[in-house]
Amino acid sequence: MAEGDGRRPDRVAEMVLRELAQMLVHDLRDPRLRGVSVTRVRMTDDLRHGRVFFSHLEGRPRAAEAIKGFQSAGGFIRRRVGRALGLRYTPDFDFEFDPGLESAARVEALLRESRVK
């Protein structure tokens, strides 16, 4: 294995994340995707499959609708990512809610409460 080969999925994941972020701002008009931010992307070693993690301004209650919005735009997303990245195979994507920001906000609120008491 040549030096750097093991990191290629990480580099591609970063490029996919940037491309998806641009699409959310400029191209994806589905109302179910309003308030969505892509937080991270993980790619398989063969680059044929990616898992896209996202957060939502309104939290977990809106996650299922956002996933439906992503799935509805799946073909468009695949075409754009494939064109932008110039990969041999255009990856398939799964979309998953990332509770990290929601959890961080909850911890921050609890810390604020403890300082007030």
pLDDT band, residue 2 (cuts 50/70/90): very low
Q: Domains plus CATH for the chain?
A: 5-116 (3.30.300.20)
Return the pLDDT at 98: 93
Main-chain phi, psi angles of 48, to 5 degrees:
-95, -10
pLDDT by residue (tens digit) across 9-35? Answer: 999 999 999 999 999 999 999 999 999
**All residues at 6 or more sequence positions from 39 whose CB lies less than 8 Å from its CB, including other chains:** 53, 54, 55, 98, 100, 101
Residue in 51, 53, 55 with CA at minimum distance from that of residue 94: 51
pLDDT by residue (tens digit) across 73-110? Answer: 999 999 999 999 988 889 999 999 998 766 666 667 66
pLDDT by residue (tens digit) across 33-57? Answer: 999 999 999 999 999 999 999 999 8
